[in-house]
Each structure stands twice: as C-alpha cells, then as structure tokens.
Amino acid sequence: MSESLAGKRIIVSAGPTYEDLDPVRFIGNRSSGKMGFAIATAAAQRDANVVLIAGPVPLPTPAAVTRIDVRSAAQMREAVLAALPADLYIGAAAVADYTPRQVSGSKIKKSGETLTLELVRTPDILAEVASHPMRPRLVVGFAAETENVATHARDKLDRKQLDMIAANQVGIAGSGFESDDNALTVYWSDGERALGPASKKQIASELLDLITERLRR
Ligand code: CTP
C-alpha cells in the first residue's frame, strides 16, 4: 500500500520546451513528457495536490491534476515560480539550455549558403527554485547523461543545491525519452538507489516512495 501524500502540494515540470525562431520554426528536443506525467499521475493517486507544468506534448491530463501548458523555457520558468509555494518540486522537464537571441516576427527567408543562429542561455529553473526564498522542502532534479553518470549527477546535485537527482543513462535501449520503460539511479547527499528497468509508472511509484521517506526525516 503506497503512503498518502494528502495535504502536500507538488509541482512537477514535464516534457520538452520549444524555443521559437520565427512564426513557423522552433528548436526543440525529443522529450515525450511520459516520465513527468507518470510522476504527476502517481502523486495525485496518493492524494497530493499536483500542479503539472507541461511543455508541448500530446499526452492526456492525469485525473485530479491541475495542468498548465507552456511552450518555451521562459514560460515554464514563469509558470513554475507562479505555482510556488509548494512542499515539493520535481523538475522532470527537458528544458532547453539555449534559446535564440532574437525571434523573427516574419518567416526567415533563405539567402546565403550557411546560416548562423545566435543562442543565449536560458535561466536554470531547477537551480532557481532550489535557491528561492519560497524553496520547497524537497527539490528533485533529473539528469540525462551519456557517460560518467554518477559523477555528473552528483555534481549537479551539489551545484544546483538539490535534495535528490534522478539520473538516466541516455543512448541505451529500453530507457529514456520516447520509451514507456526507464531505468534511473537516484542520488542524494549520503545515498543512492537504482530504480528499474521497469515501466515509467512503476519507476514513478518507487521514486515517490523514496521522496516520502525523505519528507518524513
Ligand atoms: N533544468 C532547468 N532549467 C534549465 C535547464 C535544466 O530547470 N534551463 C533542469 C531540468 O528540468 C532537469 C535538470 O535541470 O531537472 C537537468 O539538468 P541538465 O540540463 O542536464 O544539466 P546541466 O547543468 O545543464 O548540465 P549539462 O547540460 O552540462 O549536462
């Protein structure tokens, strides 16, 4: 029997962000949003009050979840900050790290043989939530790594002042972006636990078990 999260307010971010170049083009990524939606679903089933900030994904809204749809990293940041205060923030979205410096109001016409785009860094929503005056009690991040998973994940845990980070190794079959299955290793200051390989539904449930344990400390 899963433990109740009744009375807890949980903000989950999920899916990709799309950074517009002009009225018809954008820079995006292959995040399906499935992991974040599975977490939002599982948290609502445990009676948490869940706000799901979703990038552009065609997934149905989980039952009893408040969904706010956004497109860009800037919009996601605004929606997440507006949803504070909360007991818990889970940043499962694949937020674009860079966005075009300028968005053209009209369709960019082809001209030369090459085209150079200038991109600027987006604000790190996860780090901002973790250092916010209204910081949730627990801030959980995600990391997609192709190598040295533990080292990179622990570095992000420290650098962004997180309570936990869930790392998945991308580029291996049966896990990651588009799959219904996943395998994660969750790291915190004095421990770690491997979850899966299993369905994203199962992983979401096990991740919430770990989080509930931490909230009790
Ligand atoms: N994230 C965020 N805002 C951003 C970029 C990332 O909130 N602008 C969050 C994601 O939701 C996820 C975690 O940060 O929880 C992923 O971090 P990642 O982008 O992998 O880490 P970086 O520190 O950017 O490291 P690198 O790109 O070098 O792997």
So what's the pLDDT on residue 124? 98
- Nearest atom in ligand 1 to 121's CA: 8
In three-state form (DSSP H/G/I as H, E/B as E, the rest C), the secondary structure along 86-127 is CCEEEECCECCCEEECCCCCCCCCCCCCCCCCCEEECCCHHH
pLDDT at 176: 63
Is the Cβ–Cβ distance between 149 and 167 less than 8 Å?
yes
Question: Is there a catalytic annotation at residue 29?
Answer: yes
143 lines ligand 1 (CB under 6 A): yes
The preferred substitution site among 77, 126, 131, 164 for testing ligand 1, maximizing ligand atoms within 8 Å of CB, is 126
Ligand 1 centroid–CA 143 distance in Å is 7
Map out the domains of the chain as residue ranges.
9-96+118-215
Q: What is the pLDDT of residues 170-185, one digit of tens each?
A: 776 666 667 888 899 9
What CATH class does 9-96+118-215 carry?
alpha beta
Would you state the pLDDT for residue 174? 62
Identify whether the C-beta of residue 81 lies closer than 8 Å to the C-beta of residue 4.
no
In the DSSP assignment, the letter for residue 67 is: E
| CA–CA separation, 196 and 208 (whole Å) | 14
Q: 147: buried, middle or exposed (CB in 10 Å: 19+, 13-18, 0-12)?
A: exposed
Positions of the chain with pLDDT lower than 50, given as ranges: none
Under a CB-based contact definition with an 8 Å cutoff, are residues 13 and 86 in contact?
A: no
What pLDDT is recorded for position 27?
98
What pLDDT score does 2 carry?
83
